[in-house]
Structure 1
Amino acid sequence: MHLQAVPDLPEVRPGDDLAALVAERTDLEDGDVLTIASTVVSKAEGRMADLEAFPAGPRASEIATRLTERTGEEKDPRFAQAVLEESTDLVMDEPFLLTETRFGHVCVNAGIDRSNVPDHDLLLLPERPGESAARIREALPADVAVVVTDTCGRPFRYGQRGVAIGWAGIPASRDWRGEPDRDGRELGVTVQSVVDELASAANLVTGEGAGGTPAVVVRDWEFGDHAGSDNLFRDLESDFVRQALREWEWTPEGDR
């Protein structure tokens, strides 16, 4: 497959038509996949905010005080308040805030970004990134799947990678269960998260920081003749890591 960053995208402002900005700068073809960073989706949807919009309540103040003591770095209780308001579940509150967003994504600090936000303190994730992907897809001039991406860390590994937080025109996963391997053995558990893998591949092209290339066109990739599923975010009943985290009791020394 071939991946190409969409060139010369301007700084995105609230109300901008992302589909038009992309279509003006690249020739899309039926079957392409467009990955687009959540940062520009959020900017187009006006999801910028300032800390003053989140006066800290007692819980946020307590969390910020405890994190300051734990890490030795001053934590703003207004930021903790913003994280709480953007979350439906606080999975961990030490040594960092691990939360579930309103659309089911589990990540640090509810995915709130503090970089590349001119004139504002915070950039919040899109409220409903799946709907955002569908709107962008509907406005494009070709039959193109759309994946809204973000970067986040992974349990048990250093570093961040691209993940999908919204998608349209493509299943989230392709299901290999029931298909044979080369020795004829039937696969029993393999469900491949293709939207995450496309997001991660695109992230190699977009890069991080000041690159200014938030959109990538993926061409000559095919889903193949497999069953598909839109299941991506685990619920609590099937998320054994999250269940285990709930059994931990954190102390300032980091003991259980």
Structure 2
Amino acid sequence: MDLELVAVPDLPEIRPGDSLPTLVGDRIDLRPDDVVCVASTVVSKAEGRLADLDDFPAGPRARELAANLEAATGEEKDPRFAQAVLEESTDVLIESPFLLTETRFGHVTVNAGIDRSNVPDADLLLLPERPSESAERIRSGVDADRVVVTDTCGRPFRHGQRGVAVGWAGLPASRDWRGECDREGRELSVTVESVVDELAAAANLVAGEGAGGTPVVVVRGFDFGDHEGSDEQFRDVERDFVRRALRGWSYARD
């Protein structure tokens, strides 16, 4: 499989109400089988997911979290930011030395994915509320059948961040190799490949970080193949060994 990755050039600073499909379509000729990978930052900006710290007056729980973080790191922490994280989360998995939370759409990430960089008009940029619905709206307006909304986050046991998918439309999240055979004829029993994460990571290599200004990347030539697909992406708590370990649960007593 030969893949081509092309960053959409010359996109302006995205403002609330901007049409991402129009901005992308004006700058690159798309094909139906392209995968359009869009950074969640510009999706959030177009959807008006900007906020100020004063929008989040801190409650007792946020003040407690901020105080604990300050004690752990020696750095001053704004309890209003902790309040924003709480309001964007359904669960706090780790409270110190950072906040690891589950977002309202199931993504586990630091600080509920709230961004404070490249936000010229506000203090905070929140993740899209329902990224897969955002991907579907973008898909309906571009000349391509597949859209992935991307973000970057860290990984357990490894340094650095990588691109991941937080929303997608027009393709399954994963392709299932179980029941197929390797070259030796052995049947695969556990291999489920998260293709949307792999596409997001590939796009991130081209989009870059920081001041790159290329938040939309087109992946050309990706073939899902003749495999079963699934939209399962985020582990539920009953099957998440790490989360259960953090909570002190034991599979032995289930």
Global fold match (TM > 0.5):
yes
SS of equivalent residue, structure 1 residue 26: coil
Corresponding residue for 1:112? 114
Supply the distance in 2 between the matched residues of 1:55 and 1:220 (Cα, whole angstroms): 48
**Unpaired segments ≥5 residues, structure 1:** 249-256
Deviant stretches of 4+, over 4 Å = none
Matched, 1:242 2:243: yes
Supply the distance in 2 between the matched residues of 1:117 and 1:30 (Cα, whole angstroms): 32
Supply the distance in 2 between the matched residues of 1:174 and 1:66 (Cα, whole angstroms): 42
SS of equivalent residue, structure 2 residue 196: helix
**Deviation per CA, 1:203-247, whole angstroms, max 9, x where unpaired?**
000000000000000101100010000000000001110000112
* CA deviation after TM superposition for structure 1 residue 30, in Å: 1.2
TM-score by length of 1: 0.95
Map 1:80-119 onto structure 2 (within 5 A).
80-119=82-121
Corresponding residue for 2:33? 31
CA-atom RMSD in angstroms:
0.8
Sequence identity percentage: 75
Supply the distance in 2 between the matched residues of 1:96 and 1:244 (Cα, whole angstroms): 18
**Unpaired segments ≥5 residues, structure 2:** 250-254
SS of equivalent residue, structure 1 residue 197: helix
Map 1:184-199 onto structure 2 (within 5 A).
184-199=185-200
Supply the distance in 2 between the matched residues of 1:30 and 1:40 (Cα, whole angstroms): 22
User: Would you say the 8 A contact 2:36–2:144 is kept in 1?
Assistant: no
Aligned partner (choices 3, 9, 12) of residue 11 of structure 2: 9
Matched, 1:62 2:64: yes
Map 1:1-256 onto structure 2 (within 5 A).
1-140=3-142, 142-247=143-248
Supply the distance in 2 between the matched residues of 1:120 and 1:184 (Cα, whole angstroms): 57
Supply the distance in 2 between the matched residues of 1:155 and 1:227 (Cα, whole angstroms): 28
* CA deviation after TM superposition for structure 1 residue 97, in Å: 0.4
SS of equivalent residue, structure 1 residue 34: strand
Number of residue pairs the alignment of both structures matches: 247
User: Would you say the 8 A contact 2:49–2:128 is kept in 1?
Assistant: yes
TM-score by length of 2: 0.96
SS of equivalent residue, structure 1 residue 195: helix
Supply the distance in 1 between the matched residues of 2:84 and 2:9 (Cα, whole angstroms): 33
* CA deviation after TM superposition for structure 1 residue 119, in Å: 2.3
Amino acid at match of 1:138: S
Amino acid at match of 2:225: G
* CA deviation after TM superposition for structure 1 residue 94, in Å: 1.2
SS of equivalent residue, structure 2 residue 162: strand
Supply the distance in 1 between the matched residues of 2:67 and 2:226 (Cα, whole angstroms): 53
Supply the distance in 1 between the matched residues of 2:65 and 2:182 (Cα, whole angstroms): 50
Supply the distance in 1 between the matched residues of 2:224 and 2:148 (Cα, whole angstroms): 14
Supply the distance in 1 between the matched residues of 2:144 and 2:36 (Cα, whole angstroms): 10
Amino acid at match of 2:55: A
